Amino acid sequence: MALGSCKESGKAKIGCLGSIIVTIIILIFIGKIADFFEKRSEEKKRIEQQKITAQLEEKRRNIEKKIRITTLEKKVKGIPVAKATDNLRIYNQLLRLDSENPKYKKKVAFYQAKVDEQKRKAQEAKLARQRRIARDVIARESNLTSQQRALITQLENQGLIQMKCGKVYIDRSLWNSMTYQTKDDFCATLAIACAERRHVDVYWVDVYDLHSGKKLAKWSRNWDFKVY
């Protein structure tokens, strides 16, 4: 209906105005629907773009990971087995890149055991050096104190030890009551006492069970301290 035709009568004018209002409302509604679908379409495009971007990023990471794995595997092949720490470091990196790889798990366990063993041996060597230093000190200061001599005499009188030219027989209960370090120190004292009684400057002693005669330990500057 044309806008000019609404000039006829009052009722016609009202009807015409109503039609115009309805038309405007419909146009607004249609516009909102169009906006809704346009926004929905844009949202779908955005989500799709995000998926594509994520897929591309995943592919990029996978390619980088494969390149990194290839590089590390090539590097680790040139490392001797004896260099356990270096091997363990690289296989740990490979396992982080591929956590379910059974080969990498096995290699990590293998080299971890080797590293632990090397640390243990290094610690033992350190303790051995410390004991050798202590024995050198004992050799330089090879005189027993009066208290040490009195203790040895007391133990002999009580029948807990017997000293025979570099061999000392000791009561097993007394021996078992000592810690490892106490045994080491006690044997060092016995070695000096034996050297004094033989009037020599060579310090060593073999320790035996007083009753069974079983060898319990040995001590000297050259042998180190060993418990059997």
Across the chain, the runs of DSSP E, i.e. the strands, are 161-164, 167-170, 204-209, 215-220, 224-227
Looking at residue 29, its pLDDT comes to 72
* Assigned domain for 84 exists: yes
Indicate if the pLDDT at residue 7 is higher than 60. Answer: no
Residue 54, CA distances (Å) to 68, 86, 216 in order: 21, 35, 71
Looking at residue 61, its pLDDT comes to 86
Compute the average pLDDT of residues 44-55.
Answer: 83
Helix, strand, or coil (residue 163): strand
Residues 118 and 179 in one domain: no
Half-sphere exposure of residue 186: CA atoms within 13 angstroms, side-chain side: 23
Binned at pLDDT 50, 70 and 90, residue 89 comes out as: very high
Output the pTM of the full model: 0.43
- Answer whether 6's CB lies under 8 Å from 13's CB: yes
Residues 165 and 149 in one domain: yes
**Whole-number Å distance between alpha carbons of 138 and 126:** 18
Residues 131 and 163 in one domain: no
For CA atoms 176, 178, 179, 185, give the dihedral sign.
negative
Number of domains in the chain: 2
Indicate if the pLDDT at residue 130 is higher than 80. Answer: no
Looking at residue 127, its pLDDT comes to 78
Joined together, the tokens standing for residue 113 give 């055991």
**Whole-number Å distance between alpha carbons of 75 and 191:** 54
Residue 205 burial by Cβ neighbours in a 10 Å radius (0-12, 13-18, 19+): buried
More confident residue, 1 or 169: 169
Q: Which residues pair with 219 in a beta bridge?
A: 205, 225
Residues 124 and 94 in one domain: yes
Indicate if the pLDDT at residue 138 is higher than 60. Answer: no
Last residue of a domain, one of 141, 169, 197: 141
Binned at pLDDT 50, 70 and 90, residue 19 comes out as: confident
Looking at residue 144, its pLDDT comes to 79
* Assigned domain for 188 exists: yes
Least confident among 4-18, 20-34, 95-109 = 4-18
Looking at residue 137, its pLDDT comes to 59
Residues 149 and 129 in one domain: no
Residues 223 and 163 in one domain: yes
Looking at residue 2, its pLDDT comes to 42
Last residue of a domain, one of 93, 113, 141: 141
Residue 113, CA distances (Å) to 97, 108, 117, 123, 137 in order: 21, 8, 6, 15, 36
Residue 136, CA distances (Å) to 132, 143, 218, 221, 227 in order: 6, 13, 17, 7, 20
Looking at residue 3, its pLDDT comes to 43
Indicate if the pLDDT at residue 1 is higher than 50. Answer: no
Residues 71 and 135 in one domain: yes
Helix, strand, or coil (residue 40): helix
* Assigned domain for 154 exists: yes
* Assigned domain for 51 exists: no
Looking at residue 13, its pLDDT comes to 55
* Assigned domain for 29 exists: no
Task: Give the structural domain span for 79.
Answer: 62-141
Residues 154 and 221 in one domain: yes
Strand 161-164 relative to strand 204-209: parallel, antiparallel, unpaired?
A: unpaired
